[in-house]
Structure 1
Amino acid sequence: MQSRNERHNTHKKTKAVSRQEHRKKAKKGNRNKNGSKRTLVAILTAVILLLLAVVTKVYFDVKGTADDLFKEANTNSKYSREVDLGQPSGEKATEPFSVLLMGIDTGDLGRNDGMEDGRSDTMMIITVNPNTDRTTITSLQRDTYIMVNGIYDKLNAAYAYDGPALAMETIENYLEIPIDYYISVNMRAFQEIVNAIGGVDVQSDLTFSEQGFDFVKGEKYHLEGERLLAYTRNRYDDPDGDYGRQNRQRQIITAVINKMKSVETLTSYQNLLASLGDNVQTNLRFNQMQDILMGYRSAAETIDEKALRGSGEMINGVSYQIVAEEDRLAMSEMLKRELEIDDTDDPIDSSTDEVTDQDADQDVNTNTDESTNEGTDEGTTDFEY
């Protein structure tokens, strides 16, 4: 039998061994916890680096494409101005701006892909106002009888004569407003951009057939590829002629804007960039595109659609659209309101361009009995302000 001293010594040794084992287990547990923390940190670091790499790649891909699309357009119009699209980080923009969107008739139907040789068959003024949270898309008829570089011609001739700069200047002088930026898109880009975002859904406003595709009024259609182009091309079967086609084109533009607002991933961004290439030109720089994306999102909440109409007349054997002066002035005033332009701030007299002798001869030879408007009722206008 152990003595009291022997039992005491044995108990002390047992406690000492227990403490040593506890310390070993504690150290091992700490090593496991520290190892788990280091593993978690490593994973998070890798994820963050991967995200940064993706964002950086997207940034430089987009910037590179934006740089390729840029083409300056300097106008001599007295209405030209500089717009500050920037704003402090996280704050909403305050300055409205305008963009001339032109659809160029190249890049499809056997036509070349260049932007230089075509005419602007589609012309829309897009005004963006962050203060009213509204974007307005206004269609202009391509055959509008208008002063182009000193002589009267069709509106779409301006682009053919001297590209975006003359087109912008012609519209600035006609509507007495600044056109701050332009975007030219040919038919191939139009189709491929819509394809890249997965197509758009619209409700047909007319029953018609075009290029083997059938559309029924009131029915909804998912549009991309050739079906998309067929929907936007038809005008000869439309009682409203080219104005009806313009309405369908505005439908598509509105649907694209809404679709782009809801895009939640970057998975298709490369397809979108690839669709631009040589098929798009603009005088918007990359930093300005960033400013619009960050500061003007709310302006896409409401999208209004307008159209400036005229009546068909034959002048020297050529069909034109003649816009009544009161309608031109009404459209000008509406656009000025959207851009928050005060006429009293214009330092230069805004009288209309002087008519040349050649123009006067053309007016004398006007023959309204042979007028045509591709199905539009003559002498009528169709817009509300």
Structure 2
Amino acid sequence: MNRFAKIGLLLMSMILMILPVVFGLMLYLETKGAINDSFLDSKKSKSSLRDKPVDPSLDHVSVLFLGVDDSDSRRKGGQKASQSRTDAMIYTTFNRDKKQIRMVSIPRDTLSYIPAVKYYDKITHAHAIDGPEGSMESVESTLNVPVDFYARINMEAFVEVVDELGGIEYDVPFSLNEPNTEDKGRIKVKKGKQNLTGDEALAVVRSRKQDSDLERGKRQMEMIKAIIKKAQETNSINKLDDLVKIVGKNAKHNFTFDDIQNLATTYSSSKVKIKTEQITGTDANFNGVYFYNPDLDNLLELSNKLRKDLKLPKTKKTEMMNYLMTQAYGDLMPYIEVSKKSLKSGETNTDDSSETVEPAVKPDTDESIEQPTEQPTEQPIEQQPVEQPPTEEVPSQEVPQAPQETPQQAPEQTNPGVDPSVQQQQEPNVY
């Protein structure tokens, strides 16, 4: 072999060794840049339920994942990202010892205390009222668990990630026809197992008209599992590069780069166990507006599972905000101004003249529609607002009139002091 050939081989060997290192460094810097660009600092450095800030490299931590109804078309129409509602809300614990992730789906219509306005409302409105902090504080009030971090992703990011992965295989439970990402057309998806595009996958996880909010929560967690599995099977560095750009452009969070790096190092293995849970409860109708009334015993059970994941002491029923509210008013009552301190001290006015407030977020046109939610067998049935339609039947066009035709069928716990006109002020349908 001549001298020039030897030099050529040496140069090629050096290039083959150096290029992956250079590309890896570029990807690292780009990933760090994307994470920094999508960073949205929280108003508080730690949860009020923590003694000190947590470190994902050392501690068991929690993350609240928020899927919001935000897109370019909606922002052009005047809706700010911070004013969007949450279509998906999943509270997640990361346990380092067990290498376990536990996801709890919280139905969007869950009646929850919103500290920013000091009254109960749909938990989906918490983000529209006070951004990510509003959602974090509302979840803490509902489950009595700390929310250490949040990650907010919009509809476009979800669609682009699924498309970048080449679609997601999913067994669609029923045929559906939903608005597309930009709300400028419709997406039709047939029932059955198939490879879904991003728009089709979004339609599956957004739909709640043919079954219930609970079933939608299950579909959302199933889809997340499917995306994680597909991403783990995707070994292309180029795809990882593109995924980082997509998420960086369409997500907001309060992680540092080191936080995400530590979480990814610990929990990216396919051996990590993923457990799923869901808040259960009953349907409720307050002055013609639908709410999902969470079951207190289920909340207590979930709270202690989650606190165990985080190595925190057990909570008592008497510490739960919902318990205090029920003790004072007999039920969870929306739009009545209260605080945990006043409920604990008994400084509440529980007679018929209890002062109500006008909600900061008006119900959508579809929020007065009865939701065909499956009733847990252990729950009382008296809270069902109107006669339930057959589960296999798609709600007809007459459904929106049901609350107005039968207002007297609202639960007995409904506060007579709540002015029906407050809840009936509506805005355009987010769907």
Note the C-alpha offset of 1:286.
Answer: 1.1
Q: Note the alpha carbon deviations across 1:213-268, whole angstroms, 9 max, x for none.
A: 2332xx32211232122222221122xx1111111111111111112222212112
Partner of 1:183: 151
Letter in 1 for 2:60: P
Partner of 2:372: 375
Decide which structure has the larger Cα Rg and report it: 1
Partner of 2:268: 297
CA distance in 1, matches of 2:68, 2:271: 25
Equivalent positions of 1:1-385 (< 5 A) are 32=1, 37-75=6-44, 77-80=47-50, 81-86=52-57, 95-107=59-71, 110=74, 112=76, 114-149=80-115, 150-210=118-178, 211-216=186-191, 219-238=192-211, 241-298=212-269, 301-343=272-314, 350=319, 352=321, 353=340, 354-355=342-343, 357=348, 374-378=371-375, 380=377
Are the counterparts in 2 of residues 182 and 283 from structure 1 also a CA contact under 8 Å? yes
Note the C-alpha offset of 1:274.
Answer: 3.3
In structure 2, stretches of 5+ residues that fail to align are 179-185, 322-339, 357-367, 380-431
Partner of 1:89: none
In structure 1, stretches of 5+ residues that fail to align are 1-31, 87-93, 366-370
Note the C-alpha offset of 1:358.
Answer: 7.5
CA distance in 1, matches of 2:302, 2:370: 20
Letter in 2 for 1:167: S
CA distance in 1, matches of 2:261, 2:352: 49
Partner of 1:23: none
When residues 358 and 63 of structure 1 are mapped into structure 2, their CA distance, relative to the original with a 3 A threshold, is farther
Note the C-alpha offset of 1:97.
Answer: 1.6
Partner of 1:17: none
Structure with the larger helix share? 1
Identity over the aligned pairs, expressed in percent? 27
Q: Note the alpha carbon deviations across 1:286-320, whole angstroms, 9 max, x for none.
A: 11111112223348632222110221112243221
TM-score, normalisation: structure 1:
0.77
Are the counterparts in 2 of residues 77 and 173 from structure 1 also a CA contact under 8 Å? no
Q: Secondary structure at the match of 2:238?
A: coil
TM-score, normalisation: structure 2:
0.69
Note the C-alpha offset of 1:373.
Answer: 5.6
CA distance in 2, matches of 1:213, 1:189: 20
Note the C-alpha offset of 1:342.
Answer: 2.3
Q: Secondary structure at the match of 2:299?
A: helix
Q: Note the alpha carbon deviations across 1:93-147, whole angstroms, 9 max, x for none.
A: x632211000111116756485222111210012222322321221001111111
Are the counterparts in 2 of residues 309 and 380 from structure 1 also a CA contact under 8 Å? no
Letter in 2 for 1:126: T
CA distance in 2, matches of 1:319, 1:280: 30
Are the counterparts in 2 of residues 114 and 278 from structure 1 also a CA contact under 8 Å? no
Q: Secondary structure at the match of 1:185?
A: strand
Are the counterparts in 1 of residues 280 and 376 from structure 2 also a CA contact under 8 Å? no
Are the counterparts in 1 of residues 169 and 194 from structure 2 also a CA contact under 8 Å? yes
Partner of 1:4: none
Note the C-alpha offset of 1:78.
Answer: 2.6
Q: How many residues were matched structurally?
A: 332
When residues 223 and 73 of structure 1 are mapped into structure 2, their CA distance, relative to the original with a 3 A threshold, is same
When residues 130 and 310 of structure 1 are mapped into structure 2, their CA distance, relative to the original with a 3 A threshold, is same
When residues 56 and 212 of structure 1 are mapped into structure 2, their CA distance, relative to the original with a 3 A threshold, is closer
The two structures, once aligned, show a CA RMSD in angstroms of 3.1
Note the C-alpha offset of 1:269.
Answer: 3.0
Are the counterparts in 1 of residues 142 and 320 from structure 2 also a CA contact under 8 Å? no
Partner of 1:28: none
Deviates more, 1:304-313 or 1:356-365: 356-365
